[in-house]
Chains A and B, each alone.
Chain A
Amino acid sequence: MTKLDAKIPEGPLKDKWTNFKNNCRLVNPANKRSIDVIVVGTGLAGGSAAASLAEMGYNVKAFCFQDSARRAHSIAAQGGINAAKNYQNDGDSTYRLFYDTVKGGDYRSREANVYRLAEVSANIIDQCVAQGVPFAREYGGLLDNRSFGGVQVQRTFYAKGQTGQQLLLGAYSALSRQVGKGKIAMYSRHEMMELVVVDGKARGIIARNLVTGEIQRHSAHAVLICSGGYGNVFYLSTNAMGSNGSAAWKIHKKGAYFANPCYNQIHPTCLPRTSEHQSKLTLMSESLRNDGRIWVPKKMEDVEAIRSGAKKPKDLPAEDRDYYLERRYPAFGNLVPRDVASRAAKERCDAGFGVNKTGEAVFLDFASAIERYGKEKALQEGEDTNNMALVRELGKEVVKAKYGNLFQMYEKITDDNPYETPMKIYPAIHYTMGGIWVDYNLMTTIPGCYALGEANFSDHGANRLGASALMQGLADGYFVIPYTIGDYLADDIRTGEIPTDTKEFDEAEKEVRDRIEKLMNNKGSKSVDSLHRRLGKIMWEYCGMARNEEGLKTAIKEIRALREEFWNDVFIPGKADGLNPELEKACRVADFMELGELMCVDALNRTESCGGHFREESQTEEGEAMRNDKDFTFVSAWEYTGDPSEAKLHKEELKYENIELKTRSYK
């Protein structure tokens, strides 16, 4: 087993990043002009990286499969972004953000990376405000904050329920400015199909123009993969329809290790699935748990009455409701971390208390918040605080100002008015903590190939806290890669342009052409979606919220059979030399069919429970996740050897020098 070198700088934790910046090699401005960088994906990580690197003087080529860089799925992030500003004077600090993130990640993330993340978090807010990002403000004109799961301070900055949109549009505007200056060549409606490795270094990609079908060669001195997570392995998730794991999977097959693929986040507050035709699941922001209380009825007869419509949830008296998060976790209540909240919902629904027809839903209730805010407002306005009709009206206004767009979204989908009746929610796949293994510099095991944002594995351990994904994406792109990439590219100042008429490009292009040809000429009988849906079912059944040895073994067997069926029987209409959404989907699903297997292999190997990875064999008597620090305080980094089940495991031991490993408790 080879040892993975994370290249963590020397020195005390709080000095590591400063030491690195003081000692890393630089590329002078004249030399930057002769260096090309490819950025795949234009979400928060890719957009911010492309903009920053272009501002520094590198020639950037940015790729996205959407029709515009502004549409990357970061845009859908709702609740907020964390930063250790301590504007609320509630005891926050860089160390506390670091500590919360490591603890929230169930002690499976890398200390040095997380500390750096906490350290640069404050700069992100300053940077975004300077760009004109309209964060929520108080009447004094200063920035407002709210609280998120797993923490006891208010450090989350937000822009209503559209924080991701506003941050992404900030990065997109910075990127657009560089496109206008000619420093970024923007390739929208293009998909990366293959990585090109020359003499062991990442030197380019093969891309497909999704409009014309043209296969293109693009060379560069470094390639950044900022393509997001792989939650769509599950078919139904909160990801966008086009979100995919292909760029990550392609570099994995070319030598980049894949770390902790089994760490998936199941978000507790999503709209429940209703039927077969469903194409995706919609998230309701975690910020709603600031004001919403989660419950199911205590008595089975009430469950049945609610399901049949004989009783309305709001008519159920408080003593007949089980606010199970408040009951089980009094210290954090409804704001426990996502993995804990999701499992608690599953536990109640498995016990038969689910409140909708499928038995897979719990209530998220705003009635008490509406009353509380209404009374405050009535008091401020000198109105009668005992006039409950008025109080509720005023309270609804406050709630609308905070979460209006989320409530509207809920009503559009379900035809229920959440101001009047509690929302019904259930956990769904949302985010993938696992991803491409990177060292401290965000470089993968392929020199010159980097992974940023959700595509890498490094900062969230086995569970990500709310409002931390936006923070990580922007930290990686705005503040980390601009330093770390120079340290590598300093060797490339004399390299000159990388030619694309070499055998490495020939071979990579041929692989792509062969793959497309095989798919197009398959003449099978099944649609891509029908096969993808079946993959999703296997994954959700055996590799979802609870996993066990037998199930995972079954899943691996079933996925392998399904993959064979896919290659034998998938049917793709149309032609490859033009816009063909079925072909695009097929290329992505083909990769999911392999990645899903590796996820199960990893889940099978990790016999402990930690964060979002819950092995039924490893739980306490109360049903809480039980870690095994003695045997599993490491990162599983898998090397591709030709078959996901034969992947070779490399371990990066995790050392905790600044935090004591404890049983995570939110009670």
Chain B
Amino acid sequence: MKLNLRIWRQDGPNDSGRLENYTVENVSPDESFLEMLDELNEKLVSEGKEPVAFDHDCREGICGMCSMFINGEAHGPDRAITTCQLHMRRFKDGDTITIEPWRAAAFPVIKDLVVDRTAFDRIIQAGGFVSVNTSGNTIDANALPINKADADNAFDAATCIGCGACVATCKNSSAMLFVSAKVSQLALLPQGKVERQERVLNMVEKMDEEGFGNCSNTGACEVECPKEISLDNIARMNREYLKASLSSEK
């Protein structure tokens, strides 16, 4: 295949960016999208040019590092996958592919397609945990039976990889899907119940402070989420938040 690429190039956070055109040839349908970009980069290096900077690491869809807006969709045209799992068989000879970084005020561009997502870390630091220290003296794991449905729902919420596709997709750049996944996981489990009120209040407060927008229930985040995190989590977080703001002393 021969493909035309339009890729966002930006030197640094304070520079203005632009879309630049490249062509890649002899692309095999069996290679992954990132391998196609590897080849472009090798070509650029061999021409003495600077390669396109992009985030990637595990290349098996679990680390959450890769983050590309491909033809107007987070992680490209397929559902339930990350950019690194997208394969070139999804495209055809002569296609033009536009590749941009996540765009959100809370995710400033560092370079080219690389953005700064440390706002997510700061939200977790505000309350995305159970306050239990390491010790050899916690109760036996089976002393706390957990209803399988709750455990399964908590697991589904916990599979969020923190990639930020939800934010990039949302017209309001809302982080509600990300935050609600963590709030839900811990609210569904007995271990998380003790701190559930402070947790949701603190995490939401931090989320707002970081400059993420609000949720207007379009559901686009759920559609683009590579881990299919459900919109139900946002509903659950809203309930948690309402309960906490009515009854909490904070």
Closest residue of B by beta carbon distance from A157: B141
**Is B232 in the interface zone, CB < 8 Å from A?**
no
Counting chain B CB atoms within 10 Å of each CB, the highest count among A136, A139, A241, A409 belongs to A241
Partner-binding segment picked from A27-35, A123-131, A329-337: A123-131
A158-190 residues with Cβ-Cβ distance < 8 A to B are: 159-160, 162, 164-166, 169, 172-174, 176-177, 179-180, 186, 188
**Is A309 in the interface zone, CB < 8 Å from B?**
no
Contact in complex: A478, B110 (CB < 8 Å):
no
CA distance A162 to B58 in the complex (A): 13
How many A residues have CB within 8 A of the partner chain?
82
Complex partner residue of B154 from A134, A142, A172, A482, CB under 8 angstroms: A134
* Chain B residues closer than 8 Å to A8, beta-carbon distance: none
* Chain A residues closer than 8 Å to B32, beta-carbon distance: 279, 413
- Residue interface bits A620-659, CB-to-B below 8 A is 1, else 0: 0000000000000000000000000000000000000000
CA distance A482 to B134 in the complex (A): 9
Closest residue of A by beta carbon distance from B55: A67
Partner-binding segment picked from A70-78, A215-223, A378-386: A70-78
Complex partner residue of B145 from A67, A68, A141, A408, CB under 8 angstroms: A141
**Is B62 in the interface zone, CB < 8 Å from A?**
yes
* Chain A residues closer than 8 Å to B31, beta-carbon distance: 275, 277-278
* Chain B residues closer than 8 Å to A140, beta-carbon distance: 145
Contact in complex: A415, B89 (CB < 8 Å):
yes
**Is A85 in the interface zone, CB < 8 Å from B?**
yes
Complex partner residue of B142 from A66, A142, A413, CB under 8 angstroms: A142
CA distance A129 to B145 in the complex (A): 11
A277 CB, min distance to chain B CBs, angstroms? 5
**Is B218 in the interface zone, CB < 8 Å from A?**
no
Counting chain B CB atoms within 10 Å of each CB, the highest count among A66, A125, A126, A188 belongs to A126
**Is B35 in the interface zone, CB < 8 Å from A?**
yes
* Chain B residues closer than 8 Å to A135, beta-carbon distance: 141, 151
* Chain A residues closer than 8 Å to B216, beta-carbon distance: none
Contact in complex: A176, B124 (CB < 8 Å):
yes
Contact in complex: B189, A71 (CB < 8 Å):
no
* Chain B residues closer than 8 Å to A138, beta-carbon distance: 148
How many B residues have CB within 8 A of the partner chain?
79
Contact in complex: B65, A174 (CB < 8 Å):
no
B34-69 residues with Cβ-Cβ distance < 8 A to A are: 34-35, 38-39, 42, 44-46, 48-51, 53, 55-65
B103-125 residues with Cβ-Cβ distance < 8 A to A are: 110-111, 114, 116-118, 120-121, 124-125
Partner-binding segment picked from B155-163, B207-215, B238-246: B155-163
Contact in complex: A240, B50 (CB < 8 Å):
no
Given A130-B191, A408-B80, A582-B45, are A479 and B134 also a contact pair (CB < 8 Å)? yes
* Chain B residues closer than 8 Å to A176, beta-carbon distance: 121, 124-125, 128-129
Contact in complex: B139, A126 (CB < 8 Å):
yes
Contact in complex: B28, A275 (CB < 8 Å):
yes
Partner-binding segment picked from A96-104, A546-554, A573-581: A573-581
**Is B192 in the interface zone, CB < 8 Å from A?**
yes
Contact in complex: B63, A71 (CB < 8 Å):
yes
* Chain A residues closer than 8 Å to B162, beta-carbon distance: 68, 70-71
CA distance A132 to B127 in the complex (A): 13
Contact in complex: B191, A413 (CB < 8 Å):
no
* Chain B residues closer than 8 Å to A513, beta-carbon distance: none
CA distance A211 to B112 in the complex (A): 12
Contact in complex: B185, A132 (CB < 8 Å):
yes
B146 CB, min distance to chain A CBs, angstroms? 5
Contact in complex: B191, A73 (CB < 8 Å):
no
Complex partner residue of A275 from B30, B51, B159, CB under 8 angstroms: B30
Closest residue of B by beta carbon distance from A172: B124
Given A241-B59, A275-B30, are A48 and B134 also a contact pair (CB < 8 Å)? yes
CA distance A120 to B135 in the complex (A): 11
A362-413 residues with Cβ-Cβ distance < 8 A to B are: 408-409, 412-413
- Residue interface bits B124-150, CB-to-A below 8 A is 1, else 0: 111011111111101111101111100
Contact in complex: B151, A134 (CB < 8 Å):
yes
Contact in complex: A527, B46 (CB < 8 Å):
yes
CA distance A574 to B11 in the complex (A): 11
Complex partner residue of B64 from A70, A174, A277, A578, CB under 8 angstroms: A70
**Is B174 in the interface zone, CB < 8 Å from A?**
no
CA distance A68 to B107 in the complex (A): 13
* Chain A residues closer than 8 Å to B192, beta-carbon distance: 132
Given A138-B148, A173-B129, A530-B42, are A279 and B35 also a contact pair (CB < 8 Å)? yes
Complex partner residue of B42 from A67, A134, A529, CB under 8 angstroms: A529
**Is A259 in the interface zone, CB < 8 Å from B?**
no
Given A134-B151, A479-B136, A578-B12, are A71 and B126 also a contact pair (CB < 8 Å)? no
CA distance A655 to B161 in the complex (A): 44
CA distance A478 to B134 in the complex (A): 6
* Chain B residues closer than 8 Å to A428, beta-carbon distance: none
Closest residue of B by beta carbon distance from A138: B148
**Is A51 in the interface zone, CB < 8 Å from B?**
yes
CA distance A48 to B132 in the complex (A): 13
Given A126-B138, A137-B151, are A173 and B128 also a contact pair (CB < 8 Å)? yes
Please name the 10 residue pairs, one residue from A and one from B, whose CB atoms are nearest each other, closest first.
Answer: A141-B145, A173-B129, A180-B125, A134-B155, A129-B141, A52-B134, A130-B138, A240-B57, A71-B63, A177-B129
Which B residues have a C-beta under 8 Å from some C-beta of A? Answer: 11-12, 28, 30-32, 34-35, 38-39, 42, 44-46, 48-51, 53, 55-65, 78, 80-81, 85, 87, 89, 110-111, 114, 116-118, 120-121, 124-126, 128-136, 138-142, 144-148, 151-152, 154-155, 158-159, 161-162, 185-186, 189, 191-192
Given A75-B58, A130-B138, A165-B159: 11 more A-B contacts, CB < 8 Å: A67-B118, A68-B117, A130-B139, A141-B145, A164-B62, A169-B158, A174-B134, A240-B59, A274-B30, A413-B85, A578-B11
Complex A-B: 15 CB contacts under 8 Å? A55-B134, A70-B64, A70-B162, A71-B63, A85-B142, A132-B185, A134-B154, A137-B151, A141-B146, A166-B158, A173-B128, A177-B131, A240-B57, A277-B31, A479-B136
Which A residues have a C-beta under 8 Å from some C-beta of B? Answer: 48, 51-52, 55, 66-71, 73, 75-76, 85, 87, 120, 123, 125-132, 134-143, 159-160, 162, 164-166, 169, 172-174, 176-177, 179-180, 186, 188, 211, 240-242, 274-275, 277-280, 282-283, 408-409, 412-413, 415, 478-479, 482, 525, 527, 529-530, 571, 573-574, 578-579, 581-582
